[in-house]
Amino acid sequence: MDSFEDSENEVINLSLMAKSYESDEEASLKKSWYIDSGCSKHMTGDASKFTHISPKKSGHVTYGDNNKGRILGVGKIGTNSSSSVENVLLVEGLKHSLLSVSQLCDKGYLVHLTLITVSLKTNMIEI
How far is 64 from 13, CA to CA, in rounded Å?
A: 9
Which range of 38-42, 69-73, 92-96, 110-114 scores highest in mean pLDDT? It is 69-73
Residue 126 lies in a domain: no
Q: Are 41 and 89 in contact (CB under 8 A)?
A: yes
How far is 53 from 51, CA to CA, in rounded Å?
A: 7
pLDDT in tens, 78-96: 876 667 889 999 999 998 8
Closest CA to 17 of 1, 39, 40: 39
How far is 62 from 104, CA to CA, in rounded Å?
A: 19
Residue 109 lies in a domain: yes
DSSP 8-state symbol, 25: H
Domain total in the chain: 1
Domain that residue 94 falls in: 4-121
pTM exceeds 0.85 for this model: no
